[in-house]
Amino acid sequence: MSPKTLYDKIWDAHVAHEADDGTCLLYIDRHLVHEVTSPQAFEGLRMTGRTVRAPDKTIAVPDHNVPTTLDRASGIIENEESRIQLDALDKNAKDFGVHYYPVSDVRQGIVHIVGPEQGWTLPGMTVVCGDSHTATHGAFGALAHGIGTSEVEHVLATQTLIQRKGKNMKVEITGKLAPGVTAKDITLSVIGKTGTAGGTGYVIEYCGEAIRDLSMEGRMTVCNMAIEGGARAGLIAPDEKTYAYVMGRPHAPKAAQWEAAMAWWKTLYSDDDAHWDKVVTIAGEDIAPVVTWGTSPEDVLPITANVPAADSFTGGKVDAAKRSLEYMGLTAGMALSDIKIDTVFIGSCTNGRIEDLRAAAAILKGKKIKDGMRAMVVPGSGLVRAQAEEEGLADIFIEAGFEWRMAGCSMCLAMNPDQLAPGERCAATSNRNFEGRQGRGGRTHLMSPAMAAAAAVTGHLTDVRDMM
């Protein structure tokens, strides 16, 4: 047999039909659904008299619109459109009989955090969701990617997707990370190197010692942002850490089925002489704590650097950088660490897991946030929130001056009331710094949870290594 990559193996195990021209029907093992990209898809089913083919493989969670304030249990959602969208998901989940975690359920949270937490996401699966950050689930060695609403409808009706196979890209992070450097710094540094279109048409497999050393939480952070590098999916081969994370989760296989699953999972790695269409290698030792300065996730620099000049770039990037600097209100040459921050947001599907909250709390313990700073922590799920409370992390955040919120997407994309005002500058642990992403005119700097916590204390972008 010819050598295969991990992506090749998962792909081959899921082709339900291949046409003469290479167009395939890829079978989907898990379909995650949230309230924003699904209403039109369910409506499409109703209009054509179609049903959900595999409701037992379909999991619905509201996350984008839900308020994260503590009083949300009162059930009042002030924005009528948000309420209609949440009501639609509630009705669709019940009418079509899919698994469902409503806002009132402690297991509710961001769909990409709930899936792994509940054991829905397993190695070797195909996982899709009407959300680009579905790439997150690749951390388990699952082929996971975002789809549009028409494709959501297609998967609901047929449990398959019409696909052509992508190309294989290997991103290897060798060696060890230095202290203060995290999974977020890895994934941002990769995008900084390859650009936001560098992965277009590829599925990325992340490998190397620094990736192996990451926890499952860290691996999810890395894969989550594969899409920001243009790749629909990012993968990490499963190993003992993966099995340990999955074992015992509510929907993970048990007993004999666990043994059978393990036997297959252990075959899920890229063969030594597999073919790669593109290879990127970065030395772990060379990665520094990074922040973004512009309005594209590729605008990444070490915290010790200065704001770049637009004319230091080439091609279309010159105008883009000019536009970014103007939007961000920055002057070329100023030290990144001199940039003052108004708001800190810790959360999102990128960095809303327990380890992220631990990393931020470790910096904040015994400290206060800067006077006038607005700071919030939004746990990625109700269970992350409960665990953080049990571990005493919530008290550290609250004593430092952070708001301690309920689970949801929150200020990552500002569809709920958590938004930036025009000109407001935010240190965010989320994944996109696009113009207006966190609110019209809002200015976003992406970074790790520890770096965001450090900025909350000092009031400006800060090298977390100075506080360790």
Partner 1 sequence: MEKFDKLSGIAAPLPIINVDTDMIIPKQFLKTIKRSGLGVNLFDEMRYDDDRNEIPDFVLNKPQYRDTQILVAGDNFGCGSSREHAPWAIKDFGISCVIAPSFADIFYNNCFKNGILPIALPQEQIDLLMKDAEKGSNARMEIDLEAQTITTSDGDVLTFDVDAFKKHCLMNGLDDIGLTMEKAAAIDTFEAAAAQSRPWV
Residues numbered 181 to 220 that lie near partner 1 (CB under 8 A) are 196-197, 200-201
For residue 458, the number of C-alpha atoms closer than 13 Å in the C-beta half-sphere is: 19
Residues of the binding site for [4Fe-4S] cluster: 349, 409, 412
Give the shortest CB-171-to-partner 1 separation in angstroms.
Answer: 17
Quote the tokens at residue 274: 């597999």
Footprint of partner 1 on 289-308 (CB under 8 A): 296
9 binds partner 1 (CB under 8 A): no
Of 232 and 443, nearer to partner 1 (C-beta) is 232
Part in contact with partner 1 (CB under 8 A); list of ranges 225-233, 278-286, 381-389, 445-453 = 225-233
Q: Concatenated DSSP letters for 376-422?
A: EEE-SBHHHHHHHHHTTHHHHHHHHT-EEPPSS-GGGTT-SS--PPT
137 binds partner 1 (CB under 8 A): no
434 binds partner 1 (CB under 8 A): yes
165 binds partner 1 (CB under 8 A): no
Cα angle 411, 303, 398; round to 5 = 45
Of 25 and 207, nearer to partner 1 (C-beta) is 25
Binding test (CB under 8 A) with partner 1, winner from 76, 84, 247, 398: 84
What is the rounded CA–CA span in Å between residue 377 and residue 418? 11
- Going by their DSSP bridges, the two strands 167-174 and 278-283 should be labelled as parallel
If phi over 0 gives left and psi between -120 and 50 gives alpha, with beta otherwise, what is residue 366?
left
3 binds partner 1 (CB under 8 A): no
- Going by their DSSP bridges, the two strands 403-404 and 374-378 should be labelled as parallel
316 binds partner 1 (CB under 8 A): yes
Footprint of partner 1 on 339-358 (CB under 8 A): none
Q: For 265, phi and psi rounded to 5 degrees? A: -55, -35
147 binds partner 1 (CB under 8 A): yes
Footprint of partner 1 on 386-425 (CB under 8 A): 413-415, 422
Of 21 and 371, nearer to partner 1 (C-beta) is 21
Of 152 and 288, nearer to partner 1 (C-beta) is 152
Of 145 and 374, nearer to partner 1 (C-beta) is 145
Binding test (CB under 8 A) with partner 1, winner from 94, 176, 368, 440: 440
Binding test (CB under 8 A) with partner 1, winner from 55, 72, 149, 271: 149
Quote the tokens at residue 94: 């019940």
CB–CB of 461/337 below 8 Å?
A: yes
Footprint of partner 1 on 28-47 (CB under 8 A): 29, 36-37, 39-40, 43
Residue 261: CB partners within 8 Å, gap ≥ 6?
122, 123, 253
- Going by their DSSP bridges, the two strands 24-27 and 15-18 should be labelled as antiparallel
Which among 366, 372, 307 is positioned nearest to 344, based on CA atoms? 372
146 binds partner 1 (CB under 8 A): yes
Contacts with partner 1, 228-247, as mask; x by CB under 8 A: --x-x---------------
Give the shortest CB-49-to-partner 1 separation in angstroms.
Answer: 12
Binding test (CB under 8 A) with partner 1, winner from 5, 58, 65, 187: 65
Residues of the binding site: 349, 409, 412
Of 200 and 215, nearer to partner 1 (C-beta) is 200
Footprint of partner 1 on 243-272 (CB under 8 A): 253, 257-258, 260-261, 264
Part in contact with partner 1 (CB under 8 A); list of ranges 96-104, 211-219, 360-368, 435-443 = 435-443
The full length of the chain comes to 468
What is the rounded CA–CA span in Å between residue 390 and residue 392? 5
CB atoms within 10 A of CB 51: 12
Quote the tokens at residue 269: 């790695």
CB–CB of 177/213 below 8 Å?
A: yes
